[in-house]
């Protein structure tokens, strides 16, 4: 800038000295060849032409083009004796001084040179012919008009022609760039859509996994994120094809050795090589990374400004993306920036510039790039930004569509699910399509009666939790799940890397889990009191899948899973209410055993199963001895207590597949599938002995009761449902007649009388 100002001052000084005649005739005695000083402006014109051709990447300042016109004035003034002889030559040099910038510069520098040449030349002629002008001579006006018109046309006509040609070329070039851009977008989107299915096919070809959780429709990326590096990394080749499709065109356009694209990784503040196009035989460092601010390319990322070198050796040597020296001599790098406006109250509020990466082309030739290339590089940069944002937008739409489909399908299943198992099965079926590398899912429900947390469902890689279903642990165990349960109002608990945490999940002596890295535990909140019904957790073998876990971290994947579980909470609450209603409908309210209606339905089912399997089915009917007298003596509240205690003894005495029920009043029934008369007698007597030994603590007295039991078996004693009930009832009456507190197996001839 200072040098240019000095040049302008010198040019103005030379013109003033020449016009005012301070050096008039000073060179006549030295004009040995009679050239009239013409070599000076000619040499100046040749020098400017050489500078322009030798350094096409540098735009010559206007002061360079002013010097030839100024030296024409000097030659006329220094050698006035030859001025008349070389008048036309001087005029031609003035015209050439205006023509040169019109040919070499696309802007209006020629107009500046024309104005300077026209004014200074006219002033010089005026001072030379001022006496003639004063006398009214017209030659001055004619000469200056001719020179002015000739100089103007010499600049204007080529400038106009070149301007129109450049405009046409730019229009054609822009059409070509737009075609490349559209082709890249269409091709890349097609690849991006095909990638999940291709990946799924490859995974499926590898054989089944032990988890069964790999889905061909897994949503591999979080496209709602604005992290471009993650977008391109997780999107795979289908997304990266956008940029790669543009690079061959860039390399051809710039006649470059290599064209490459770096993507900005905001987490590490580095530029990562995304894709490249280079000459055959050139080795590229595929994993090349450049820190922001380091080297020429890193400085482009730091300053967000284009960089162009004439001789790269002056800027620190070879680019860092080559595996070996490629003898690169010049380079041009442009930032990829996406510009958009933030709106506030419906109006533009703030312009945002999102930095996405850097485009780079290089050459083995020095000064390989010029000012026009800088403009073209900026266009490629804007195309690259549009490519990235277009694919991000399309993938976001596809991702949202898939998520909507997931939400809709799960909601549909929630709406018809009446049992908690159906609700959680619907969730566990869909979660692997949302969570990358989903390893395991766990459902834990809270049992209010025992105040324990129970592992109800485990899907995926069970590993150290194999066989842990129905395992219970207290809410105060101090583990991660206990913390999530007790602090459910704080929302999900996100552990980015379980291996870096010293605590435990359930209890302190639990088996180790070396495979789990990411862990997200989401409370299931429901009911009118908005209590924690349980916990749902998702595990992954990759760290940081659900975010950093820091306060305020709002990872999209965590939000999506939380939304699903919140919707599930309504279905879980409804299913628990349904189970409670079902329990009320099938369970005796006093004893907790199955009621008479459920007993009859179960007996019919077991009878049908016994007929198909041709296995025996036994029935026990029991009656508490002297219960009416006991009730009258101790009162109904104590009588109710006795009924509950007897029911508990029966429940604890029978086998897992036996079916105890309250038959009515003080009578109880027990259905014994696949049990013959001898087995029925053994079970009945075990029940009798347990009840006989049991002490009922009424608070004031220690009470004991006994029972009488009757047994009957299909097909030994009877064939129908009513017959087996009648036979068991007759056997019960026989026990009463035998003195009570005993077990009787039905025998033909038994009758029923008053008990």
Pairing verdict, β 707-714 and 531-540: unpaired
CA gyration radius, the chain: 48
The DSSP H or E segment spanning 200 is helix 139-205
Q: Look at residues 349, 247, 360, 244 and name the one whose alpha carbon lies nearest to residue 308.
A: 360
Residue 360 dihedral angles phi and psi, to the nearest 5° = -135, 135
Q: Look at residues 130, 127, 64 and name the one whose alpha carbon lies nearest to residue 97.
A: 64
The DSSP H or E segment spanning 260 is strand 258-265
Residue 251 CB coordination number (10 Å): 21
> What is the CB-side half-sphere exposure of residue 563 using CA atoms within 13 A?
15
Alpha carbon separation from 49 to 10, 60, 659 (Å, rounded): 20, 10, 108
Number of residues assigned to the chain: 755
Among the options 666, 674, 692, 723, which is catalytic? 666
Q: Look at residues 693, 704, 706, 708 and name the one whose alpha carbon lies nearest to residue 742.
A: 708
Pairing verdict, β 707-714 and 743-745: parallel
3-state secondary structure of 508: coil
Active site residue 172: no
Q: Look at residues 744, 715, 704, 706 and name the one whose alpha carbon lies nearest to residue 620.
A: 744
Q: Which residues make beta-bridge pairs with 308?
A: 332
Cα–Cα distance measured from residue 208 to residue 303, given in angstroms and rounded to the nearest whole number:
51
Alpha carbon separation from 10 to 1, 15, 24, 38 (Å, rounded): 14, 8, 18, 20
> What is the layout of strands, in order, in the sheet containing 270-278?
289-291, 270-278, 258-265, 347-363, 330-344, 307-308
Q: Which residues make beta-bridge pairs with 350?
A: 342
Contacts (Cβ under 8 Å, ≥6 apart) of 464: 510, 511, 512, 513
Q: Look at residues 711, 708, 743 and name the one whose alpha carbon lies nearest to residue 724.
A: 711
User: Which residue blocks in 216-288 are alpha helix, DSSP H?
Assistant: 228-235, 237-254
Q: Annotate 70-119 with DSSP letters as a single string.
A: HHHHHHHHH-GGGTTTTHHHHHHHHHHHHHHHHHH-SSSHHHHHHHHHHH
Cα–Cα distance measured from residue 74 to residue 207, given in angstroms and rounded to the nearest whole number:
90
Contacts (Cβ under 8 Å, ≥6 apart) of 745: 677, 680, 681, 711, 712, 713, 731
Residue 362 has which token pair? 């290089």
Residue 9 has which token pair? 């001052």
What 8-state DSSP symbol labels residue 694?
-
User: Which residue blocks in 549-635 are alpha helix, DSSP H?
Assistant: 556-586, 596-613, 627-634
Calculate ∠ Cα 648-652-653, nearest 5°.
115
To the nearest 10°, report the CA torsion of 150, 155, 157, 161.
160
Asked whether the beta carbons of 200 and 215 are under 8 A apart, the reply is yes
Cα–Cα distance measured from residue 194 to residue 86, given in angstroms and rounded to the nearest whole number:
77
Active site residues: 666
């Amino acid at each position: 800038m200072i040098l240019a100002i000095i040049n302008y001052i010198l040019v103005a000084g030379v013109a003033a000295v020449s016009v005012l005649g301070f050096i008039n005739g000073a060179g006549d005695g030295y004009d040995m060849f009679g050239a009239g000083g013409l070599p000076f402006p000619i040499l100046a014109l040749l020098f400017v032409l050489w500078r322009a051709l030798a350094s096409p990447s540098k735009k010559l300042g206007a002061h360079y083009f002013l010097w030839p016109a100024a030296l024409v004035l000097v030659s006329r003034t220094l050698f006035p004796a030859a001025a008349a002889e070389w008048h036309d030559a001087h005029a031609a040099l003035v015209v050439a001084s205006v023509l040169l910038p019109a040919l070499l510069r696309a802007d209006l520098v020629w107009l500046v040179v024309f104005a300077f040449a026209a004014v200074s030349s006219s002033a010089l002629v005026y001072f030379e012919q001022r006496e003639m002008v004063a006398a009214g001579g017209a030659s001055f006006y004619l000469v200056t008009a001719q020179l002015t018109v000739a100089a103007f046309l010499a600049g204007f006509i080529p400038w106009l022609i070149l301007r129109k040609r450049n405009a046409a070329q730019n229009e054609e070039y822009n059409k070509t760039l737009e075609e490349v851009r559209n082709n890249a977008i269409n091709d890349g989107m097609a690849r991006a859509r095909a990638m999940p299915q291709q990946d799924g096919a490859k995974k499926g070809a590898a054989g089944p996994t032990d988890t069964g959780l790999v889905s061909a429709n897994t949503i591999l990326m979080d496209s709602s994120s604005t992290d471009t590096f993650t977008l391109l990394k997780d999107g795979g080749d289908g997304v990266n094809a956008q940029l790669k499709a543009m690079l061959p065109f860039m390399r051809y356009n710039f006649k470059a050795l290599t064209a490459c694209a770096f993507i900005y990784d905001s987490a590490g503040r580095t530029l990562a090589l995304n894709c490249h196009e280079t000459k055959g035989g050139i080795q590229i460092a595929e994993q090349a990374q450049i820190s922001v601010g380091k080297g020429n390319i890193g400085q482009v990322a730091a300053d967000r400004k284009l960089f162009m070198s004439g001789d790269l050796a002056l800027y620190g040597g070879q680019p860092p993306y080559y595996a070996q020296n490629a003898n690169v001599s010049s380079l041009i790098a442009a930032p990829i920036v996406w510009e958009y406006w933030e709106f506030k109250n419906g109006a533009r509020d703030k312009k945002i510039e999102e930095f996405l990466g850097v485009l780079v082309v290089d050459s083995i030739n020095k000064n390989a790039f010029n000012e026009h290339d800088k403009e073209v590089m900026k266009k490629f940069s804007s195309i690259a930004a549009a490519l990235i944002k277009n694919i991000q937008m399309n993938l976001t739409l596809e991702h949202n569509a898939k998520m909507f489909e997931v939400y809709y399908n799960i909601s549909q299943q929630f709406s018809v699910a009446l049992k908690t198992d159906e609700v959680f099965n619907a969730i566990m079926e869909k979660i692997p399509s949302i969570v990358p590398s989903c390893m395991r899912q766990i459902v834990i429900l809270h049992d209010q009666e025992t105040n324990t947390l129970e592992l109800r469902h485990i899907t995926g890689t069970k590993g150290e939790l194999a066989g842990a279903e129905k395992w219970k642990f207290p809410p105060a165990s101090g583990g991660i799940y206990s913390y999530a349960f007790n602090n459910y109002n704080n929302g999900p608990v996100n552990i980015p890397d379980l291996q870096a945490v010293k605590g435990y999940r359930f209890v302190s002596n639990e088996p180790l889990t070396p495979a789990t890295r990411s862990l997200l535990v989401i409370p299931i909140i429901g009911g009118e009191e908005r209590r924690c019904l349980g916990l749902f957790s998702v595990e992954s073998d990759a760290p940081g899948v659900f975010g950093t876990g820091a306060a305020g971290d709002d990872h999209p994947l965590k939000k999506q899973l939380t939304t699903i579980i919140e919707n599930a909470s309504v279905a879980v609450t409804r299913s628990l209410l349904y189970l409670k209603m079902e329990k009320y409908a099938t369970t005796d309210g006093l004893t907790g055993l199955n009621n008479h209606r459920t007993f009859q339905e179960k007996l019919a089912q077991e009878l049908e199963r016994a007929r198909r399997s041709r296995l025996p089915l036994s029935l026990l009917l029991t009656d508490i001895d002297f219960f009416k007298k006991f009730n009258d003596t101790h009162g109904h509240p104590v009588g109710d207590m006795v009924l509950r205690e007897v029911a508990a003894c029966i429940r604890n005495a029978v086998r897992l597949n036996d079916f105890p029920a309250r038959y009515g009043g003080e009578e109880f029934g027990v259905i014994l599938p696949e049990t013959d008369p001898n087995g029925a007698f053994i079970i009945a007597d075990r029940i009798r002995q347990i009840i006989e030994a049991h002490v009922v603590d009424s608070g004031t007295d220690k009470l004991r009761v006994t029972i009488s039991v009757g047994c009957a078996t299909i097909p030994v004693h009877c064939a129908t449902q009513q017959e087996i009930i009648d036979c068991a009832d007759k056997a019960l009456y026989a026990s009463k007649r035998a003195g009570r507190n005993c077990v009787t197996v039905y025998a033909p001839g038994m009758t029923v009388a008053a008990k």
